[in-house]
């Protein structure tokens, strides 16, 4: 994963520098990429154009890496920019799965698969929420068996293969992702409990140190 990120950065950084020199901000890149991804998902997936929907959404998911490159070219991102990026990620992810639910109830005519898509939508949002809420409370909830990059890869691989006519590709992708996402929710909640115990233990040791000092 690290090598992949390094490779992406080597491509994205020169483009980010070029955009920055022309007055484009990281926040503008974030909003544009999210808007385009949302529009593509809503316009193409519900109409059954899963392959082309996958192609377009993938392009703008990769485009999303440019906001970090622009921020680095500007000397570093802002706190507000980080929040905006996280919010836009949640919007894009939610709309992607909502569009798949729409397809399941419409053109896809696959109501059982809609359950998996809904499970992916809800659990994906909860995974991110647990981490954010834990950090707000001074705790940590890192890791888990699956995170956002893996969720996108599995989903878009499933939609793309289904669009090419591979039988059950999307069913396998969404049900697998639903199970892995629920497991990840449990892992992050467990991480919060471990972090809370560690904080309590560290606090007890500090108070004992102050008492003996």
- Residue 23, token pair as written in the block: 């007055």
- 2-212 maps to CATH 1.10.287.3240: no
Q: Among 51, 129, 137, which residue's Cα sits nearest to residue 89?
A: 129
Active site residue 67: no
What are the residue ranges in the chain where pLDDT is below 50?
Answer: 1-2, 4
Spatial contact of 128 and 90, defined as CB atoms under 8 Å apart: yes
From 27, 67, 85, 89, the catalytic residue: 89
Spatial contact of 155 and 96, defined as CB atoms under 8 Å apart: yes
Q: 65-86, pLDDT tens digit by residue?
A: 788 888 888 887 778 888 888 8
Helix or strand (DSSP H, E) at 20 = helix 2-21
Give the predicted TM-score (pTM) of the model: 0.85
Q: Among 127, 123, 130, 155, which residue's Cα sits nearest to residue 53?
A: 155
Q: What are phi and psi of 24, to 5 degrees?
A: -85, 130
Spatial contact of 86 and 132, defined as CB atoms under 8 Å apart: yes
């Amino acid at each position: 994963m690290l090598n992949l990120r390094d490779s992406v950065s080597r491509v994205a950084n020169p483009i980010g520098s070029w955009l920055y020199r022309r007055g484009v901000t990281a926040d503008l890149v974030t909003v544009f990429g999210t808007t385009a991804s949302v529009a593509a998902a809503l316009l193409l997936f519900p109409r059954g154009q899963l392959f082309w929907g996958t192609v377009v959404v993938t392009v703008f998911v990769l485009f999303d890496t440019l906001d970090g490159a622009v921020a680095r070219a500007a000397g570093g991102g802002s706190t507000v920019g980080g929040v905006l990026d996280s919010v836009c990620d949640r919007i894009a992810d939610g709309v992607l799965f909502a569009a798949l639910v729409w397809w399941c109830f419409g053109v896809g005519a696959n109501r059982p698969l809609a359950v998996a898509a809904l499970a992916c939508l809800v659990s994906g949002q909860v995974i991110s929420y647990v981490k954010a809420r834990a950090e707000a409370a001074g705790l940590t909830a890192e890791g888990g068996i699956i995170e956002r990059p893996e969720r996108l890869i599995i989903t878009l691989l499933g939609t793309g293969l289904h669009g090419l006519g591979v039988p059950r590709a999307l069913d396998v992708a969404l049900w697998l992702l639903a199970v892995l996402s629920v497991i990840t929710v449990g892992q992050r909640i467990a991480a919060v409990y471990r972090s809370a115990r560690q904080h309590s233990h560290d606090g007890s040791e500090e108070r004992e140190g102050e008492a003996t000092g």
